[in-house]
Amino acid sequence: KKLLSLIQTWQQQGTSVIFNSHNLDHLFAVTDRILVLRQGRLMANYLTDETSREEIVSALLGTIDREQLTPAIWALDSYYRANQHAERLHNQQQLLERNLAEQGSLNQQLIEQLSHQVKALDKANMALQDAQRRLLTEREQERKHLARELHDQMIQDLLGMNYQFEEFEADADIKPQMVEQLTTIRQQMRSFIRDLRRICEDLRPPVIDSLGLGVALESCAWDWSERTGIRVNLELDPNLGRLPETTELSIFRIVQEGLNNVRKHAKANTVKVGLKHTSPRMLQITIIDNGQGIVDDFNLSKLARQGHYGLLGISERVALLGGRLKMQNQNNGGFSLQVEIPHPRVEMVINSDRA
């Protein structure tokens, strides 16, 4: 951290710095340009703001075809781990080929078939991830459309009917018994309208498009706390800025599903929700409750078989964003969920007193 801070200080002073590291997070945090060297040769030259971790790893491994790289390699955290992993696989492959050469052509055919199957599986996994991304995008669009239809048509029609009943109620010629019935109907309609508005907010947070993720999370936390009676301590990065629409919606859904999981299973009375930058291109989401925690030997597949899909849904969203998910019980009780998500450089929010 001291070295990164020193490099940033030099950059602010106009000093050019050449920084050699295998840590992608460090490189993306402080550099303007990334050079990829392999066996002493320059393989690629990228502007940091215009590249991604996937492109860097692809250049390091000597291929530009993303579909040829396994999802395991794309999940590696740094150049160093990717290079080590590739070397181990290469050594194992050479050892296996030497052993198979002594066993005849039949085993060679089997390994070739296995290799083809692995490549086919990799392609299928990539296609599945693309399909999941499209499905999530289309589902959010449907949610947005349905929320707009409910708000612009049904809720407005109900409000119009409520005003008409109010005029009937004010009619001096109407019987007192009818006035009482109209009052009851209007109260039921107002309750129905409130429920519809809550449904619209769950389908598509109305402020996220106009005011951004931070305001949407504040509204969600306040409303959720009012409905559940569970206190929410919300800590947001003051320089959160605006993110790509898909990223903002995914983060909102992760927090929303995390809070629902607390309500259903945690038996907590307080939950802490945090969203902050850990580097210029990395966001960290934390949801920590003071409830009963979860069994030590839990796994997502087992929870899904039991009908608990909340954590599984969070895990899938994080994977599609290229992030990392960590779940564990707290030493002092409760459950902790931590998510790290990479994203493009954000547009910082300008303080109103400087505008």
Mean residue pLDDT of the chain comes to 77
Question: Mean pLDDT across the stretch 198-218?
Answer: 81
Overall residue count recorded for the chain in this entry: 355
Residue 308: per-residue pLDDT: 63
**Residue 232 — very low, low, confident or very high, per pLDDT cuts 50/70/90?**
very high
* pLDDT above 70: residue 6: yes
pLDDT digits (tens, 9 = 90+) for 171-198: 767 777 777 888 888 888 888 888 877 7
Alpha-carbon span 138 to 272, nearest angstrom: 31
pLDDT digits (tens, 9 = 90+) for 140-163: 667 666 767 776 777 777 878 878
Does the global pTM surpass 0.75? no
Per DSSP bridges, beta strands 335-342 and 324-329 are antiparallel
Question: Mean pLDDT across the stretch 323-351?
Answer: 77
Least confident stretch, 123-137, 163-177, 268-282 = 123-137
* pLDDT above 50: residue 351: no
Alpha-carbon span 298 to 327, nearest angstrom: 10
* pLDDT above 90: residue 168: no
269 neighbors 230 (Cβ within 8 angstroms):
yes
Residue 339: per-residue pLDDT: 94
Fold for domain 211-342? Heat Shock Protein 90 (3.30.565)
Which of the pair, 354 or 288, is modelled with greater confidence?
288
The strand ranges marked E within the chain are: 33-38, 41-47, 231-236, 270-279, 282-289, 324-329, 335-342
Q: How far apart are the first and last CA of the chain?
A: 32
Residue 147: per-residue pLDDT: 65
Assigned token pair, 244? 């790509």
Least confident stretch, 159-168, 177-186, 237-246, 300-309 = 300-309
Could you give the percent of the chain with pLDDT greater than 90?
15
269-278 in b/e burial notation, b at 16+ Cβ within 10 A?
eebbbbbeee
Residue 234 three-state SS = strand
**Residue 131 — very low, low, confident or very high, per pLDDT cuts 50/70/90?**
low
Integer angstrom CA distances of residue 218 from 10, 14, 212, 221, 225: 38, 40, 10, 5, 11
Residue 254: per-residue pLDDT: 92
* pLDDT above 90: residue 236: yes
* pLDDT above 60: residue 72: no
